[in-house]
Structure 1
Amino acid sequence: MPLRMKLRAITLDCPDPSALAAFYEQATGLPPHPGSNADFAALDYGNGLILGFQRVDGHRAPTWPTQVVPQQSHLCFAVAENLDEAEARLLALGAGKPGTQPEETRWRVLTDPAGHPFCIVRG
């Protein structure tokens, strides 16, 4: 019989947890978790799930789409706006846009300020 496990957190390694939390706070509208500090910051979904950011000295950003430094995981967000509007807003917040876009009419691959790839899809 499988364990009854509930996902509580998704945590990304990064060089500056506060800065990365601020980017995702502006992008998602999620409030900061009250336990955030200089080495670990988080945003609270309010349903027991947090999106966390932990300081890692010597952090190396993924090199998507190459695998020189693998991404290992990525986040995918549904957006209410059309993809062009959502992309423009995220780029203005500090996201990057890799040159490789495998299916640009269906989703966009962007990178957060620490270099983690994430996708936006019509939602």
Structure 2
Amino acid sequence: GLPVLADTVEGFAGPLAGILTGLEWAAARTPCTAIVTAAGDTPFLPLDLVDRLEAAAGERPGSIAVACSAGRLHPTFALWPVGCRDALRHFLVDEHNKRVSAFIERHGHVEVEFPILQSA
């Protein structure tokens, strides 16, 4: 029952364009203060992904809470504060930068460790 949204940035701006579109949609139509993103081709999302990202973001208000494992960020698995949408639009449109990790580093973030599970 949710709408499918076209990117609000012209051309192919990558995953950040979709994140920006979600942030702008949430800001205009919901009372939400953040959105969660996850790659659509991930087979096993942790059941506590949102809870853990939200808890970490609560410790550093306004920061992006991003999943990591073994010292490696997973930038598309994150909780994005709606308040970062103007900075993200500037980053994409004015600076022509499409790197998710570059925006996360610049904006400020908190890393949330998710251990790598060993197969049985």
The TM tier, using the shorter chain, reads: under 0.3
Query: Which fold has the larger relative contact order, with Cα–Cα distance below 8 Å and residues 6 or more apart in sequence?
Result: 2
What TM-score do the two structures reach when normalised by structure 2? 0.28
Higher strand share: 1
